[in-house]
Structure 1
């Protein structure tokens, strides 16, 4: 593996650790078997997941909410739950999440709510009732 790819893989791993606290198993698998692809993804992720103090335009709470909403629209329930929980750790409220999920419902239809949105809302409500994760 070329040095530039190794550096980009490490940057992607570092980005996950900094914002998520771990590297998800599916991304570890990608890094192991397709390091060039993970390197490209990792560079995009480290660019997007910069806070304003590091040159990012949006705060991390907003970025996590956006990922949760996009994952909901795509039907990626696990990712949507993980990103919504991360946004809650950064201060997202249940009313804010509900508004965003309703926007997804408006664009993607009631199926997005039935397949993913409701599960995300329930997951985050349970997290809040437990006092966090």
Structure 2
């Protein structure tokens, strides 16, 4: 340790050279390599919400630990669920997907029928208009 004194104001300065070239870190310090654009977007959002990004990261890490990683797990199958429960979950989702497909096909058919009906109604109205005017329909 080297003590440096300034004539105008005496100050003790602790200088420590780190051989690795890295700055000394306090216990609990964390260094990570983010994609620069991700880090910037994260910092900007935290700034908008008036939150310290390091505290947000700490809370996210705590949430990850408390949920045993489930916070980032695939939402279709809960982490730690029994294989039978996961299988039933997949079966339910498959059934839901089939029902949704069937429903979408039915809606499409109804929409086509609606368009066809509107076309036919339009044709009938035109034909009536021709008959009322005393003209022959062109067809």
Q: TM-score normalised to the size of structure 1?
A: 0.23
Q: Which has the higher helix share?
A: 1
Q: Which has the higher contact order (CA 8 A, sep 6+)?
A: 1
